[in-house]
Amino acid sequence: MHSGADIAEIAAVVGDPARANMLSALLDGQTLNAGELAFAGHVTAQTASAYLAKLVAAGLIACEKHGRHRLFRLASADVARMLEEIMAVAATRSRRYRPAWMRDEALRAARTCYDHLAGQLGVALTESLAAHDFLLLDQDGGAITPAGARFLAELGLDLAPAGGTKRRFCRPCLDWSEQRPHLAGLVGAALAERCFALGWIARIKDSRAVAITAIGRDGFRARFGVEVPTAARA
């Protein structure tokens, strides 16, 4: 069991607004350099360097060296889940001021959460899979049914390699904007990757929001019975 001191240590690192902004900038699962993270945190390069060292030491981010360059990413899917759930709690608070990320309709409509889909789109896909008995999901984890495995295979997902990894195969992730779970784990990541590959969704520069293409609107409707949010349409 973790002690209060362990929790307080992580909370103190995340609790600084600049460091929280830097972590949020990495929530799309991609890597950024120190300059980009300094910009995200609204701090100087020197301050960003010190903050990045703290985040690495706390095990919240990882540093990859490419020659003379250093790139940073979230250390794991568990860190992404922690951040998303903090955002979910923050979104329920009654306050006069709501930060831009809470008011961004594109983010609320469709976005990436680390390497899986979130927002109205992510939740709708998850609920569609569950409604068709393709997915069994509870608070602790989830499973794909045999019918679900066939459905996902027909969509082009290859889940066979998943057995050789330590990462959770299938699990819920509480969505901060919808206050309902979306699909995470290896299955959630594979589904997002396939949607990008099919051209159903496209990344929006400098944002975790994703745009849903015309092909995607037809695909989500035909395959999942999901009507995509207007704010996410390309």
Each residue of 54-71: pLDDT tens digit? 999 999 999 998 888 899
Q: What is the per-residue pLDDT for 107?
A: 87
Query: Is residue 66 helix, strand or coil?
Result: strand
Q: Average pLDDT of 192-205?
A: 94
Contacts of residue 205, defined as CB under 8 A and 6 or more positions apart, other chains included, come to none
R_g (Cα) of the chain, nearest Å: 18
100 confidence band (pLDDT: 50, 70, 90): low
Domains with residue ranges and CATH for the chain: 4-75 (1.10.10.10), 98-232 (no CATH)
Helices assigned H by DSSP within 113-213: 119-131, 146-155, 185-197
Residue 2 has pLDDT above 70, yes or no: no
Could you tell me which residues are beta bridge partners of residue 211? 202
Q: What is the per-residue pLDDT for 77?
A: 86
Instruction: Look up the pTM and report it.
Output: 0.73
**CB-based burial of residue 81 (10 Å sphere; 0-12 exposed, 13-18 middle, 19+ buried)?**
buried
∠ CA 217-207-222 to the nearest 5 degrees?
10
Interatomic CA distance for residues 119 and 225, integer angstroms: 17
∠ CA 44-5-114 to the nearest 5 degrees?
55
Residue pair 59/75 in contact (Cβ under 8 Å)? The answer is: yes
Least confident of 93-97, 105-109, 133-137: 93-97
Please provide the average confidence, as pLDDT, over all residues in the chain.
87
C-beta neighbour count of 166 within 10 angstroms:
4
Residue 3 has pLDDT above 80, yes or no: no
Strands (DSSP E) contained in the chain are: 32-33, 61-66, 69-74, 111-113, 116-118, 135-137, 142-144, 171-174, 181-184, 201-203, 210-212
Find the helix or strand (DSSP H, E) in which 81 lies.
helix 77-91
- Written as six digits, the tokens of 4 are 């209060």
Find the helix or strand (DSSP H, E) in which 201 lies.
strand 201-203
Give the chain's largest Cα–Cα span: 54
Residue pair 170/142 in contact (Cβ under 8 Å)? The answer is: yes
Residue 23 has pLDDT above 80, yes or no: yes
CB half-sphere exposure, 204, CA atoms < 13 A: 17
Q: What is the per-residue pLDDT for 205?
A: 82
Residue pair 118/175 in contact (Cβ under 8 Å)? The answer is: yes
Q: Tell me: the pLDDT tens digits for 180-198?
A: 999 999 999 999 999 999 9
- How many DSSP H helices and E strands does the chain contain? 11, 11
Residue 93 has pLDDT above 70, yes or no: no
The residue among 92 and 155 whose pLDDT is bigger is 155
Residue 97 has pLDDT above 90, yes or no: no
